[in-house]
Chains A and B, each alone.
Chain A
């Protein structure tokens, strides 16, 4: 008996350690690679969600939506991770501003009806939308906004992403409908920061420790219930007065299904109405089937091959360039099913400062070999790649075979995401690593020499700092584009591809989200035709 007990315990620990299935990691990373963002289809987004007039929709409908990553808690102020933002932002909680995912993540007003910045960029004045109220019925006042922002930026704040608001010097409420934010220095990223979780408005005096169990948001949905390990139910807030329209459906059940086959079967058999992050290699039941629409959407998921710039031999730019030139990105995207686009640099296509950098270090295995020989590694080079086990193993296989042709002997070491966070991300103990950097507007990572990339170029850091404080949008965009180009020319990392996200929608479902679904998923507009 004792032996079987030991075997059981070992087996349980091992299945866990091997990262069996998608790990619900509390991070900004989307492991959607496991579940299909990396698969077949055209290069650009295509398909479009069907729409229907309100009168055609069933107001009592329940919509079932398949999601991948279940959050580990429902508390935006304590737990990091895209899973939580995907679920709660825009649906249950709102900030002064939000983004329009159908317009390339454009910043648009939410609880603030309008806002303006002073010419010196140091003062932002927000006018609150009329009618907005918390779920307990009390109206949203300037006092609530001031209090919430003060909590986020208070010294010692543990709120994830609070640093997005670090430039705030003070917040004041000259009258109940107006909020004035003053900054320490000009910060062109402030409005973006306010669209995220750090900008969420809570009722003044909310006990953040209790948000796991209770919610008092302002959004079009209330939290109905959480069946841990299975689903979260959102219930329409019938008293909702805006901003934006009331939820079309009475209930939305978000079903967390990690297994891609199970998710596909659920969609094919009508258990779910919308399947996000569908696997493109498993689309056969849906393509050419009048019962379903297949939407291809943009993401900011940059599958980034991190090269430890601070560690030999990768501190040698020639080695980094050689690695970039040795990898055939087109073939890689093909091997993963095709749902990706090349970017050639650190900026996703949706960011205003994106430009096509695929010309830099274009695929050329002969040139890669020569670069290595000139750098003194003609006799071959042994490197190790640490890759979280949530990503498709095919990526590692392609990299090994491509780099072999250039004379690099690559060993792939899979590890659990949490282990990756400690070993690679925090301790920087790695040579090559691969992670999906899912955040939009994260160019700052290349201007931060302490980041795990170990990339330090004073010029890039200066341009980035100037961009943050730039007097106008055009100057800022130009500076950031320059910084991105320089990072690519320095081979600060390699950018394998930007993933596409595939959403399968059952016929008769209107208003399904299409773009950026792993980070934001506004569901108020989703309805079911009668």
Chain B
């Protein structure tokens, strides 16, 4: 197990390094630069050149990359080319919206998907099972944007229970307001993610239900549900945990859409704006952090699976 964790950690670091090179290189392929965004339509060529020089955009790419990497290694993601604010600080600020948004909707999705998925598997031949299954298919098919608009129309515009958009100016200093403004975004994100998760929980449970060891457990006198609870769920959780890792990445992408729809000042909308402004130092810092989160989740999933399933530990894979 220790060998595995160490090997997996080395892989994590190598992947991060590769991601930093890729991010840096890919962003440089975009047409347009920060100088153009700063200077706008009134700047002449001489002004643009001066701005480029000031931002260091005229230095060789390898040199720019090396400077950035050195900063990152010392824990500094750099400064915005447009207004000089610290990327680390601003990411921290935005994480206070995007973090609760993503984690909250993940919790909500799990809370719905696991019991319903198991129920759908247990009753897969009855009306309840097919009903849940069909509903989850619809949940997957519905566009997030549309679901969000619908929720706003019903719960914010028609009956004024929740705010239609926005986040309190004072942020979490107004906890009640902040929570209220996250309710609809949570539901919007959780519906689509939960529907996907539900499908996996259902199929993993169905898979387990057909296994010999469950038949043996039932032969020993346990009920179907009891056998599943005692012996099945742990076996079924392996594939679900894998999918969960991938879904975290999907949630981060979904946050971009939901933050825009609800005008939330989160990391997703910041990233989109920064790409548009060609604030590349900021964008590459943000992308690197997102990549690091996704890689870390992947790492946690791999380790977690081995903790759940001793058979994986023995093969040493």
Contact = CB atoms under 8 A, between A and B. Distances in A.
Interface stretch (B57-65, B82-90, B120-128): B82-90
A73 interface: yes
Interface string B266-301: 100111110111110001000100110011001101
A159 to B, nearest CB: 9
A227 B37 contact: no
B40 A212 contact: no
B36 A11 contact: no
B26 interface: yes
Contacts of A271: 163-166
A72 B83 contact: yes
A239 interface: no
B228 interface: no
A80 interface: yes
**Candidate in A70, A418, A426 with the most chain B CB atoms within 10 angstroms:** A418
A75 interface: yes
Interface in A5-31: 5, 7-9, 11-13, 15-17, 19-21, 23-29
B252 A8 contact: yes
B31 to A, nearest CB: 4
A28 B19 CA distance: 36
B270 to A, nearest CB: 5
Nearest to B81: A72
**Candidate in A23, A230, A233 with the most chain B CB atoms within 10 angstroms:** A230
A25 B157 contact: no
A269 B156 contact: yes
A421 B249 contact: no
B18 to A, nearest CB: 9
A233 B169 contact: yes
B157 A268 contact: yes
A258 B15 CA distance: 36
Interface in B16-52: 19, 22-23, 26-27, 30-33, 36-45, 47-48, 50-51
A257 interface: yes
Given A229-B269, A418-B36, A29 B41 contact: yes
B253 A11 contact: yes
Nearest to B15: A2
Contact of B273 (A1, A70, A233): A70
**Candidate in A212, A228, A419, A425 with the most chain B CB atoms within 10 angstroms:** A228
A160 interface: yes
B40 A418 contact: no
B209 interface: no
Given A15-B272, A25-B277, A212-B83, A8 B249 contact: yes
Contacts of A12: 253, 256, 271, 287, 290
B163 A26 contact: no
**Candidate in B19, B43, B253, B273 with the most chain A CB atoms within 10 angstroms:** B273
B15 A419 contact: no
A422 interface: yes
Contact of B160 (A261, A269, A415, A422): A269
A72 B43 contact: no
Contact of A1 (B27, B82, B301): B301
A1 B296 CA distance: 10
Interface in A221-237: 225, 227-231, 233
A79 interface: yes
A259 interface: yes
B149 interface: yes
A5 B295 contact: yes
A255 interface: yes
B82 A79 contact: yes
Contacts of B165: 257, 259, 262-263, 265-266, 271
Contacts of A265: 152-153, 156-157, 164-165
Interface in B106-163: 149, 152-153, 156-157, 160, 163
Contact of B32 (A5, A227, A255, A421): A421
Interface string B69-92: 000000000000011110000100
A408 interface: no
A163 to B, nearest CB: 8
A446 interface: no
A231 B169 CA distance: 7
B83 A160 contact: no
Q: How large is the interface on A (under 10, 10 to 19, 20 to 34, 35 or more residues)?
A: 35 or more
Given A1-B301, A12-B256, A158-B47, A78 B38 contact: yes
B265 to A, nearest CB: 4
Interface in B244-274: 245-246, 249-250, 252-253, 256, 260-266, 269-273
A417 B276 contact: yes
A170 to B, nearest CB: 23
B83 A75 contact: yes
Contacts of B174: none
A416 B276 contact: yes
A136 interface: no
**Candidate in B41, B153, B271, B287 with the most chain A CB atoms within 10 angstroms:** B41
Contact of A229 (B23, B265, B275): B265
B239 interface: no
A227 to B, nearest CB: 6
A15 B256 contact: yes
B207 interface: no
Given A23-B273, A227-B169, A74 B83 contact: yes
B56 interface: no
A156 interface: yes
Contact of B275 (A13, A70, A78, A256): A13
Contacts of A11: 253
Contact of B265 (A16, A161, A227): A227
Contacts of B38: 26, 72, 78-80
B200 interface: no
A423 interface: yes
Contacts of A26: 37-40, 82, 277
A5 B294 contact: yes
**Candidate in B32, B85, B171 with the most chain A CB atoms within 10 angstroms:** B32
Contacts of B249: 4-5, 7-8
B306 interface: no
A160 B40 contact: yes
Contacts of A322: none
Interface in A278-309: none
Contacts of B273: 23-24, 70, 72, 229
B152 A418 contact: no
A253 interface: yes
A419 B36 CA distance: 9
Contacts of B253: 8, 11-12, 15
8 contacts: A2-B298, A72-B37, A78-B38, A80-B40, A231-B169, A265-B164, A421-B40, A423-B32
Given A80-B38, A160-B42, A421-B37, 18 more contacts: A5-B295, A8-B249, A8-B252, A20-B272, A25-B37, A25-B277, A26-B277, A72-B83, A74-B83, A80-B39, A160-B40, A229-B273, A261-B261, A265-B157, A266-B166, A271-B164, A419-B30, A421-B36
Shortest 8 CB-CB distances between A and B: which pairs? A16-B275, A80-B40, A1-B298, A27-B40, A23-B276, A229-B265, A265-B164, A418-B32
Interface of B: 15, 19, 22-23, 26-27, 30-33, 36-45, 47-48, 50-51, 82-85, 90, 93-94, 149, 152-153, 156-157, 160, 163-167, 169, 171, 245-246, 249-250, 252-253, 256, 260-266, 269-273, 275-279, 283, 287, 290-291, 294-295, 298-299, 301-302
